[in-house]
A and B are shown apart, each in its own frame.
Chain A
Amino acid sequence: MPEYTPFEMIAFTGSRVLEDEKIVFVGTGLPIIASMHAQLTHAPNLSMIFESGPLSPILEMGMPLSVGDTRACRKACYLKGLSAVFELTQRGYSDYAFIGGAQIDMYGNVCSTFEGGTYNTPQTRFPGSGGAGAMAANCEKSIIIMALEKRRFTEKVEFLTSIGFGDGSADYREKAGVMGAGPYRVITNQALFGFDAKTRRMVLLEVLPGKTAQDIQDLVSFELLVAKDLKEMAEPTAEDLRLLREVCDPEGYFLNRKVK
């Protein structure tokens, strides 16, 4: 197996999770790279939505550096503004929300608003919901990228920015007035998680070859469910890495970041 970085593994896994013939609403960075890789491999008829306005662009000018980058509009089929694309999600046109965050709990609720202190005087204020809260509410399934650390996989998020299954009750999302089915996958560089249909709790589905379920549990603050048929994560081939490095993110803006 060729050598790869944690971010390359996340992007590759993100790509694997995306099915063909779907529309994915992407956040900045790894979600864009994962979607580009999917389009180049198993999902040629996958379309992207960017929240600034474009649907189904052809990213021939290179990877957009942000979801507002003018390059994200290139040869789009439909190009309006924020209202229009989020209304597409409310109506059911978007299959996947592809987001990130700072903290996640066992029900897939995500914090990207602040850490420490109070809402009015936060120790560390993050940029805020941006599109994530709306995407997690109304795209059909949410895919969430997180760093696998105990403080991030937390018992309780400090601020619930992007809705998951709330307190885990069956009708939480319905009472919240949101349209999407909720969290679908959580992607880290060492493990892939899903959610149990009955309890709506996070389930460990796949681990990096060589890792055990206990290794992953040690990095998570809440109790994980473990799939009966726990699998090993697929690793990127040399061709996958070539696509990621040479086609998707040739400048290494997101794939070459240092892991903190």
Chain B
Amino acid sequence: MKKAVSSKIKKVSSLKYDQQLAESPFEWWGPSPDEARRVMSAKSKGMHDKRTNLKDAVAKYVKDGINIGIGGFVNTRVPVAAVHEVIRHGARDLTLSFQSNSICAELLAGAMVLDPDRVSIKRVELAWWGYEVIGIAPLLRHLTSKGMIQLDDYTNYGMSARFKAAAMGIPFVPTRDHGGSDMELVNRGKMVSCPFSGKNVYLVPACHPDVALVHVTAADMYGNCRIFGAHCTCPEITMAAAHSIVTTEQIISNENIRTYPNLTEIPYAAVDALIEQPYGAYPGSSYGFHWFDMDHIKMFRCLCDEFRKTGKKDGLKKYYDEYIFGCETYDDFLEKISFKTLRKLRDLDGGQPIILS
């Protein structure tokens, strides 16, 4: 694809402009819009009980080579329970897509460091990968400096707009960012002239994950989901994906959903597998239920950083053996986190108001 690089971006930074990359043909990193449409058209739209367990859901939908869309934002409402199961199940040559993430991306990266035959990440389309106040993501740094993963950089709006375009059933969306930055040179978007105004506008391609992993506040058994607190990009990612695995803090009645239909952020037809998993975002936070566990995230990050600095995997391996491979289910993992800790996190949420009944 020839890019109309219409800003003078090449002269501004010291980035080496890769002509080959710029002219390489465009490729969807997951289902194309047509493929995603066909998957959706072929699905049964009946309202059925979607409740299952994570083991069965992941075994059914997660395969080698797929694009996994990760919901939440940094440490908020991140689908950690589902990611644990993906690691236990194993999946290679993955493409990951998200706006900003911390623990989910690092957990998958750590699994790759420990056993690339079980889990491996081929490439990531993203805006941001780190822990904010807690620090940089050591495994992102490790994998990129060794050239082990390919990245495709957008802004947080760019990635959100890409999921939104996919959820809208359109192949791209015009945005007012990326242009004039080096993202214009390295990512798969394209600067064009607006057919109406003639002015430059930057198009980003739709992003349809094969499978979305999303954690929500509440859902009925059919998968009608409520999200309180920041929505992040969860409705868009779920509706963009060919299939979705949704964990929820709590199952609520369909009658309640029907009483307040305006509160439904994800409709049942967009959900393939639904798992009631309290604390499913732990050690991330879940608005109305619990705050994030900074100590646990710090502890895991420390082990990742130790590996990055020394090459020693012992600490990291111990974490996975204890908390992921040593657990049959996510409840087994939560049992290893003390009640006092979970209770403290619940108190730190401060009873953020949510509507469940």
Bitwise, B152-173 to A at CB < 8 A (1) or not (0) is 0111111011001000000000
Bitwise, A104-136 to B at CB < 8 A (1) or not (0) is 010101010110011111111111111111100
Beta-carbon contact of A124 and B8 below 8 Å: no
Complex CA gap A176/B126 in Å reads 21
Complex CA gap A50/B132 in Å reads 14
Residues in B whose Cβ lies below 8 Å from that of A86: 155-157, 160-161, 177
Residues in B whose Cβ lies below 8 Å from that of A69: 75-76, 285, 292
Listed by A's residue number, 11 A-B pairs whose Cβ atoms lie within 8 Å are A66-B132, A73-B352, A74-B350, A80-B231, A83-B160, A128-B126, A129-B154, A157-B13, A158-B15, A166-B180, A175-B200
Beta-carbon contact of B155 and A130 below 8 Å: yes
Contact flag A176-B157 (CB < 8 Å), given A61-B350, A124-B145? no
Residues in A whose Cβ lies below 8 Å from that of B153: 113, 128-129
Beta-carbon contact of B230 and A130 below 8 Å: no
Give B residues with C-beta under 8 Å from A: 6-9, 11-16, 18, 72-76, 99-100, 126-130, 132-133, 136-137, 140-141, 144-147, 150-151, 153-158, 160-161, 164, 175-184, 186, 191, 199-202, 229-236, 285-287, 291-292, 294, 349-350, 352
Complex CA gap A159/B178 in Å reads 12
Complex CA gap A117/B177 in Å reads 25
How many A-B residue pairs have C-beta atoms within 8 angstroms? Tell me: 255
Complex CA gap A159/B184 in Å reads 11
Cβ-based interface call for A47 (8 A) = no
Residues in B whose Cβ lies below 8 Å from that of A80: 230-231
Beta-carbon contact of B145 and A117 below 8 Å: yes
Contact flag A53-B231 (CB < 8 Å), given A127-B129, A131-B157, A138-B177? yes
Contact residues of B: prevailing secondary structure: mixed
Q: Which of A82, A177, A253 contacts B99 (CB 8 A)?
A: A82
Give A residues with C-beta under 8 Å from B: 28-29, 50-54, 61, 65-74, 79-84, 86-87, 89-90, 105, 107, 109, 111, 113-114, 117-134, 137-138, 156-163, 166-167, 169, 172-179, 253-254
Residues in A whose Cβ lies below 8 Å from that of B76: 52, 68-70
